Amino acid sequence: MARLVMKFGGTSVADLDRIRNVARHVKREVDAGHEVAVVVSAMAGQTNTLVGYCRDAAPLHDAREYDAVVASGEQVTSGLLAIALQEMGVNARSWQGWQIPIRTDESHGAARIREIDGAVLIERLKQGQVAVVAGFQGLAPDNRISTLGRGGSDTSAVAIAAAIQADRCDIYTDVDGVYTTDPRIVPKARRLDRIAFEEMLEMASLGAKVLQVRSVEMAMVHGVRTFVRSSFDDPDAPQTGKDGLPPGTLICDEDELVEQQVVTGIAFAKDEAQISIRNVADKPGVAASVFGPLSDANINVDMIVQNISPDGKTTDITFTVPESEYDRALKVLEDRREAIGFAALEGARDVVKVSVIGIGMRSHAGVAAQCFRGLAEKGINIRAITTSEIKISVLIDSAYTELAVRTLHSLYGLDG
């Protein structure tokens, strides 16, 4: 017997038929003798509708009231799933974030979880009751409902799994696992049976949309084994496959990986923009004068390249920001043109970041050279490069996205 957390996203609970299908998945685990807590998102599209209501009511609305409105989507889903389970003869009860409670910080609309007391949930699970928890929401220090930001139900599920010492957190979604890259771009992409926390964190932060980045961070910190699988699989199908697990991808500690490939996957992010500052004086403090104001404006800077002119007196600085922050970043810099002292400010939106990821890169030389050579042979120019122990990221023109991803996927032997 195991203690499981099962999380179902918006597409998995999009209507009553799908909620009943989710209930069948839950009943299967209960019938197998497991203790089960379930975390649910709002029905697909519901959160967007609620956000729209807030914006229509007032463009500049109170963040606390925004949370009160948008958190209601998960409350509806949790109640409906509990009813569906009760109809199937399963002892189930819905829980809202404040009832557990899931305590967060005061950042309404994008709160972070501070603590969860899992004692009451554990007691209910031991009594054989299924806890159906509304994801995405918690209780702020002002005793008002808070929400965790878009995609926050994944974080709720992992946090609850840690709080109740679950054996595993199963994330049910509309895909059947984590792939070496987007199968829509590379039909030969294959599903990974296992992936290390660090690799999944890089893939999630660099463009893979399977899991929210914060949920992976939390799983890694607390050692929560996380299993990504499809909610659209037949709930009555055999549940034992490779390693005794059903079809899907286990995200786990590096020690659990049987074999480590040099490269695990290729990720890409289209929501990037490039900014170049030309002819800045090459002197101490110039970088701080550029990136300080951007930091003060809460604009995240990623890839940075600095070129020094032949005379050593001026420099060009190129970096990337989220595409959604491009216009704001340009304005912040333009407003400080005199203080920074640059000659020209240039930018581009038609760029994409492609990343090669794998913990095996730590012990293998030549991975970066292989990447650069492979792209060059396809005539793909690299605008910027960043690296870490387990990843190489290159910034290229967006027109070459699919070609670059397919080239690198084949180059590192990932084609299925």
Q: Residue by residue, what is the 3-state secondary structure of the chain?
A: CCEEEEEECHHHHCCHHHHHHHHHHHHHHHHCCCEEEEEECCCCCHHHHHHHHHHHHCCCCCHHHHHHHHCHHHHHHHHHHHHHHHHCCCCEEEECHHHCCEEECCCCCCCCEEEECCHHHHHHHHCCCEEEEECCEEECCCCCEEECCCCHHHHHHHHHHHHCCCCEEEEEECCCCCECCCCCCCCCCCECCEEEHHHHHHHHHCCCCCCCHHHHHHHHHHCCCEEEEECCCCCCCCCCCHHHCCCCEEEECHHHCCCCCCCCEEEEEEEEEEEEEEEEECCCCHHHHHHHHHHHCCCCCCCEEEEECCCCCEEEEEEEEEHHHHHHHHHHHHHCHHHHCCCEEEEEEEEEEEEEECHHHHHCCCHHHHHHHHHHHCCCCCCEEEEECCEEEEEEEHHHHHHHHHHHHHHCCCCC
Give the confidence band of 410 by pLDDT, cuts at 50, 70, 90: very high
Residue 211 is predicted with a pLDDT of 86
Residue 241 is predicted with a pLDDT of 62
pTM above 0.85, yes or no: yes
Give mean pLDDT, residues 397-406.
Answer: 96
Residue 69 is predicted with a pLDDT of 97
Give mean pLDDT, residues 108-128.
Answer: 95
Going by the annotation, the residues of the binding site are 7-10, 47, 74, 173-174, 179, 184, 209-210
Going by the annotation, the residues of the binding site for ATP are 7-10, 173-174, 179, 184, 209-210
Q: Check whether 310 has a pLDDT greater than 80.
A: no
Q: For domain 265-411, give its CATH number from 3.30.9.90, 3.30.2130.10, 3.65.10.10, 3.40.1350.10.
A: 3.30.2130.10
Residue 190 is predicted with a pLDDT of 92
* Ranges in the chain annotated CATH 3.30.2130.10: 265-411
Residue 37 is predicted with a pLDDT of 98
Q: Of all residues in the chain, what percent carry a pLDDT higher than 70? A: 97
* Ranges in the chain annotated CATH 3.40.1160.10: 3-255
Going by the annotation, the residues of the binding site for substrate are 47, 74
Q: Check whether 243 has a pLDDT greater than 80.
A: no
Query: 3-255 in CATH: which number?
Result: 3.40.1160.10
